[in-house]
């Protein structure tokens, strides 16, 4: 495993922020299991946990006008570093930048409190990994480390609650779960009034 300090990287028209390598889940399809980078990026394993100022300094090297959005999504769960992402989001919103948070939806469990209101005015889009249509399948695929917590319910509640504070919220699943589970996931998302996005599984 190569370690570096790749804090920002480009995917399509977006600028992605590699906030942390911490994550309470060990998803069976996680891109981290297949290599050191994502979508052709440099290695995303961090030499140390960067602070908000360090990441902002790296953002300053970029021409933000080039990107349609800045996405908080790297080799870990961004809400593990909640204070950092809020400070970075404030920096970006002060400059009129569209922001998206990609999250496993377990931020409340990670931080021991409800964090949905903290997203208001900071994120334009929050994308939550639904991963599966039932708790049993979710636990099998996501493999969360919080064994005494119903993480499926916590994730689902977070997505519904954060929609009160953020203009756009979506669930995501990966296409490798199959058409039947995708259809069931869409039914679940529709009941919650949240749209579902099906992501292509990238093996490298």
How confident is the model over 39-78, as pLDDT tens digits?
A: 556 778 899 999 999 999 999 999 999 999 999 998 899 9
Query: In which band, very low, low, confident or very high, does the pLDDT at 110 lie, cut at 50, 70 and 90?
Result: very high
Whether residue 1 is contained in a domain is answered as no
Model pLDDT, residue 27: 83
Task: Report strand pairing: 195-199 vs 168-174.
Answer: parallel
H or E segment at 90?
Answer: helix 82-93
CATH number at residue 99: 3.20.20.70
Range among 27-36, 64-73, 139-148 rated most confident: 64-73
Whether residue 132 is contained in a domain is answered as yes
133 has a pLDDT exceeding 90: yes
Model pLDDT, residue 29: 74
Query: In which band, very low, low, confident or very high, does the pLDDT at 4 lie, cut at 50, 70 and 90?
Result: low
Stated length of the chain = 204
Model pLDDT, residue 5: 85
**Structural domain containing residue 32:** 8-199
If one compares 201 and 55, the residue with the highest pLDDT of the two is 55
Question: Over the chain, what is the mean pLDDT?
Answer: 91
Q: Is 71 exposed, middle or buried (0-12, 13-18, 19+ CB in 10 A)?
A: buried
Whether residue 162 is contained in a domain is answered as yes
Whether residue 155 is contained in a domain is answered as yes
Whether residue 204 is contained in a domain is answered as no
Q: How many domains does the chain have?
A: 1
In the chain the first and final C-alpha atoms are separated, in Å, by 14
Whether residue 2 is contained in a domain is answered as no
């Amino acid at each position: 495993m190569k370690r570096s300090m790749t804090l920002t990287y480009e995917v399509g028209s977006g600028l992605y922020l590699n906030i942390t390598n911490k994550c309470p889940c060990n998803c069976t399809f996680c891109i981290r299991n297949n290599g050191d980078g994502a979508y052709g990026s440099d290695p995303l394993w961090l030499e140390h946990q960067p602070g908000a100022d360090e990441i902002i300094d790296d953002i300053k090297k970029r021409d933000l006008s080039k990107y349609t959005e800045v996405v908080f999504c790297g080799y870990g769960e961004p809400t593990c570093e909640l204070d950092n992402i809020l400070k970075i989001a404030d920096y970006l919103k002060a400059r009129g930048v569209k922001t998206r948070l990609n999250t496993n939806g377990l931020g409340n469990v990670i931080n021991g409190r409800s964090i949905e209101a903290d997203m208001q005015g900071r994120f334009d889009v929050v994308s939550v990994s639904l991963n599966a249509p039932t708790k049993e399948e979710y636990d099998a695929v996501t493999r969360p480390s919080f064994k005494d917590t119903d993480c499926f319910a916590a994730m689902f509640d977070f997505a519904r609650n954060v929609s009160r504070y953020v203009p756009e919220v979506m669930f995501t699943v990966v296409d490798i779960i199959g058409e039947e589970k995708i259809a069931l996931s869409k039914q679940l998302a529709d009941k919650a009034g949240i749209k579902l996005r099906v992501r292509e599984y990238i093996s490298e």
